[in-house]
């Protein structure tokens, strides 16, 4: 019987962390948005390649397909960095509190 209760405590803990903003869901969302952005950059580059009248515009389409996902990756990493810093600071706080008690 106590095994079921532990599962309930864990479930309440996860929901409590979520509702009190101790557990961040944005990093998971950012990873999904990253892949959507990569697909958009590649599709956009293909559209530019197909619609291009001049060679310079075709090169622009290729650059868009190569540099677009790279730029988007850097942007998403910067956003996730803030959440990782928060997690690290939370771990430091929790470890400090455990050592003091």
| 17-60 tens-digit pLDDT | 778 877 778 888 999 999 999 999 999 999 999 998 888 889 99
Structure tokens at 55: 């060679």
Asked whether residue 4 carries a pLDDT value surpassing 80, the answer given is no
SS (H, E, C) the chain: CHHHHHHHHHHHHHHHHHHCCCCCCHHHHHHHHHHHHHHHHHHHHHHHHHHCCCHHHHHHHHHHHHHHHHHHHHHHHHHHHHHHHHHHHHHHHHHHHHHHC
* Angle at CA of residue 32, ends 38 and 73, nearest 5°: 45
Asked whether residue 2 carries a pLDDT value surpassing 50, the answer given is no
């Amino acid at each position: 019987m106590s095994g079921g209760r532990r599962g309930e405590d864990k479930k309440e803990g996860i929901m409590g962390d979520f509702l009190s903003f101790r557990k961040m869901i944005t990093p998971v969302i950012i990873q999904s948005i990253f892949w959507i952005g990569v697909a958009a950059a590649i599709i956009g580059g293909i559209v530019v390649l197909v619609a291009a009248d001049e060679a310079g515009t075709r090169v622009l389409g290729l650059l868009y397909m190569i540099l677009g996902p790279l730029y988007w990756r850097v942007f998403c990493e910067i956003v996730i960095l803030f959440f990782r810093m928060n997690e690290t600071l939370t771990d430091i706080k929790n470890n400090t509190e455990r050592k003091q008690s």
